């Protein structure tokens, strides 16, 4: 369906034409004076220069051509040359009726669907997920869902960190602890044990222990670096250990991401890029892009126009081992080969921006992607505690994601049981659903690139701009609809009547913005725009609800129209929270 603003613009353009003005001035926008009008066109002011005429006179000419249109309830030319517009209620209602009948709720799917890869999540194996991983998962998942809603083919890849020093550290520490394991015996010819020599709990303890030691013990660190290199070279014992680490970690990661309602199409890892590294390095050398510098292989990526220094990209270390940039470049090669995406979007902490500047430049210089392939870094800010510092546990430690989720769910459970409208057996499940909305909405309602304060009290509140408030509104709508059908009413798409009052009209006009909001939020990769939209839509609905006795309405046609409008609002809200990555319960 066409966007309402475009339809209004088209109608206003007809008036421009009829009055003898260029239609390019006819652009209509949402009024920034809602007390005066719903829409406005400022084209008369812009046309002043071309027509050498006072804008108010131009506006009057145009308004004179608009008064007959059934699309408008009121049009006025206002000094110094605004055209103020109120839409006719019947027109708004007609738009609602059409929207209701549209399975995509008025959103037009992309005419030319793109293949888009989203690199998000990005956890490092063998380390527990902590709050630092939350944002990438939540934002990336939302952008993936928005893209799909718009009709694109979107492939989400978790891109596990499994090929760097942390692997060497774990191998080294394991060898210290259990030197007799066959993985360290170079003479051992296999097969290696099926069972991992550690549990996830042990693994999570081994890594920080090893990392701590490497910081104070130079020889230990050397060993870990060498082990990393040997792993990258494919030493069989280390590969067998790597496989165990992967199996144990990935099972744990999947469990955690599932709790977040985050779902990856691909569980690929840095190591998957290893087969592409030799050809990548060769290509970089052949093209004269890589050169040696103190034994290491580097690529100069700086450009004259750089305001800030862009250091060279490190392609290979002097011992020949690969680095973060190496696997990222090789992964681009792999992705182009396997999926040929039109765009790759990286949802990563904004502190990694320079790394991606280097990688993208090197990728373009080497022609790893087509000229038109998009490489986009979507850097997000830090999740802080109320003290303005990165979010920590009460005693100052790194907060595990699992614990954060649990804290929120416990808080939600308390509130829901207080509310008592939910049976106890349902309360746990409901608390999980509402808790997830608190976390995700709390995060997504902020512009991704900004730091934000994770405020448990505020995020879990049923009032204000929060996930629970949105769900509460949805549950309210669902309960009205349920009572309607219990009373014998039938929920079906039907004609929505012209609004009975101003609040109903506001609700309709807000609802009608859905297609524009969704399209724009995806174009700008800005889930926060969907959040502000559903917050406004919820407010408009609640205002309408408080002013209207829906179920006791005696005129059945009017009642059915309201019910149809409510059901439409519900569907819009459902679609929005679905792209944000959470769901609403039936009751709460």
Using CB under 6 A, list all residues that contact ligand ARG.
119, 122, 124, 159, 161, 328, 346, 348
Nearer to ligand ARG, 38 or 119 (CB): 119
Tell me the closest approach of the beta carbon of residue 153 to ligand ARG, in angstroms: 20
Nearer CB in complex with ligand ARG: 449/555? 449
List the beta bridge partners of residue 29.
Answer: 40
**Which of 38, 272 has the CB closer to ligand ARG?**
272
* Integer Cα distance of 543 and 442 in angstroms: 23
Rounded CA-CA distance 207/225 in Å is 14
Q: How far is the CB of 159 from ligand ARG (least distance, A)?
A: 5
Chain-centre distance for alpha carbon 90: 36
Q: Are strands 82-87 and 72-78 parallel, antiparallel or unpaired?
A: antiparallel
Shortest distance, CB of residue 327 to ligand ARG, whole angstroms? 8
Q: Nearest to residue 349, comparing CAs of 124, 51, 21?
A: 124
For the bound state, the minimum distance from the C-beta of residue 582 to ligand ARG, rounded and expressed in Å, comes to 24
Q: In whole angstroms, how close is the CB of 175 to ligand ARG at the nearest point?
A: 24
CB of 559 to ligand ARG, least distance (A): 53
Task: For ligand ARG, give the closer residue by CB, 92 or 170.
Answer: 170
> Cβ 432 to ligand ARG, closest distance in Å?
27
Task: Report the nearest approach of ligand ARG to the CB of residue 348 (Å).
Answer: 4
CB nearer to ligand ARG: pick between 83 and 167: 167
Query: 81 Cβ partners below 8 Å, 6+ apart?
Result: 42, 44, 45, 48, 54, 55, 56, 58, 59
Q: Which residue is nearest to ligand ARG (CB)?
A: 122
CA–CA separation, 224 vs 219, rounded Å?
A: 9
- Other CB atoms closer than 10 Å to residue 362's CB: what's the count? 24
Residue nearer to ligand ARG on the CB measure, 346 or 522: 346
Q: 119 vs 443, which CB is nearer to ligand ARG?
A: 119
Residue with tokens 């007390």: 35
Please name which of 417, 544, 534 lies closest in space to residue 471, comparing C-alpha atoms.
534
Estimate to the nearest angstrom the gap between the alpha carbon of 579 and the chain centroid: 8
Cβ proximity of 50 and 22 under 8 Å = yes
**343, 376 in Cβ contact below 8 A?**
yes
DSSP class of residue 390 equals B
Cis peptide before 79 (omega within 30 of 0): no
Token digits of residue 508? 């309709």
- In the complex, the smallest distance separating the C-beta of residue 380 from ligand ARG, rounded to whole angstroms, is 11
Closer to ligand ARG by CB, 43 or 161: give it.
Answer: 161
State both tokens at 327: 């696997």
Nearer to ligand ARG by C-beta: 274 or 465?
Answer: 274
Is the separation of the CB atoms in 115 and 341 below 8 Å?
Answer: yes
What distance in Å separates the CA atoms of residue 566 and residue 574, rounded to the nearest whole number?
12
């Amino acid at each position: 369906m066409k966007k309402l603003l475009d339809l209004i613009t088209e109608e206003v353009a007809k008036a421009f034409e009829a009055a003898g003005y260029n239609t390019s001035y006819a652009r209509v926008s949402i009024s920034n004076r809602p007390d005066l009008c719903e829409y406005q066109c400022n084209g008369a002011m812009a046309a002043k220069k071309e027509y050498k005429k006072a804008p108010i006179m131009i506006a009057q000419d145009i308004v004179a051509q608009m008064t007959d249109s059934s699309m408008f309830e009121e049009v006025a030319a206002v000094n110094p040359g605004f055209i103020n517009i109120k839409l006719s209620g019947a027109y708004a209602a007609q738009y609602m009726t059409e929207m209701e009948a549209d399975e995509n709720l008025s959103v037009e799917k992309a005419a030319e669907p793109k293949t888009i890869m989203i690199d998000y999540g990005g956890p490092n194996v063998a380390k527990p997920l902590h709050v630092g991983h939350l944002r990438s998962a939540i934002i990336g998942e939302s952008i993936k869902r928005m893209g799909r809603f718009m009709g694109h083919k979107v492939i989400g890849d978790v891109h596990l960190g499994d090929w760097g020093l942390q692997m060497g550290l774990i191998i080294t520490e394991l060898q210290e602890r259990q030197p007799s394991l066959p993985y360290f015996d170079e003479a051992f010819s296999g097969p290696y044990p099926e069972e991992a020599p550690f549990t996830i709990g042990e693994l999570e303890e081994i890594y920080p222990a090893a990392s701590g030691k490497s910081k104070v013990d130079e020889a230990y660190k050397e060993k870990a670096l060498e082990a990393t290199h040997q792993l990258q070279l494919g030493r069989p014992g280390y590969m067998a250990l790597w496989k165990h680490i992967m199996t144990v970690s990935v099972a744990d990661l999947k469990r955690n991401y599932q709790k977040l309602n985050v779902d990856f199409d691909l569980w690929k890892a840095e190591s998957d890029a290893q087969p592409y590294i030799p050809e990548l390095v060769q290509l970089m050398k052949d093209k004269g892009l890589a050169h040696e510098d103190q034994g290491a292989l580097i690529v100069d990526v700086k450009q004259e126009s750089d305001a800030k220094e862009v250091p060279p990209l490190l392609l290979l270390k002097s011992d020949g081992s690969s680095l973060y940039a190496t696997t990222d470049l090789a992964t681009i090669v792999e992705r182009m080969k396997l999926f040929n995406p039109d765009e790759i979007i990286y949802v990563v902490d904004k502190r990694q921006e320079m790394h991606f500047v280097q990688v993208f430049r090197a990728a373009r210089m080497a022609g790893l992607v087509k000229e038109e392939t998009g490489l986009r870094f979507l850097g997000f800010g830090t999740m802080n505690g109320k003290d303005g510092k990165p979010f920590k546990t009460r005693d100052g430690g790194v907060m595990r994601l699992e614990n954060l989720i649990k804290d929120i769910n416990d808080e939600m459970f308390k509130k829901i049981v207080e509310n008592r409208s939910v049976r106890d057996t349902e309360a746990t499940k409901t608390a999980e659903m509402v808790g997830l909305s608190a976390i995700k909405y709390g995060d997504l309602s902020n512009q991704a690139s900004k730091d934000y304060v994770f405020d448990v009290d505020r995020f879990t509140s049923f009032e204000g701009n929060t996930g629970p408030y949105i769900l509460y509104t949805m549950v309210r709508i669902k309960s009205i609809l349920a009572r309607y059908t219990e009373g014998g009413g039938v929920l079906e798409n039907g004609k929505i009547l012209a609004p009975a009052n101003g609040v109903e009209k506001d609700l309709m006009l807000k609802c009608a913005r859905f297609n524009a909001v969704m399209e724009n939020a995806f174009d700008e990769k800005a889930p926060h725009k969907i959040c502000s939209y559903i917050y406004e839509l919820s407010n408009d609905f609640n205002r309408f609800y408080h002013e209207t006795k829906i179920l006791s309405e005696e005129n059945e046609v009017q009642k059915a129209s309201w019910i149809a409008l409510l059901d439409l609002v519900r569907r819009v809200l459902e679609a929005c929270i679905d792209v944000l990555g959470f769901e609403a319960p039936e009751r709460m």
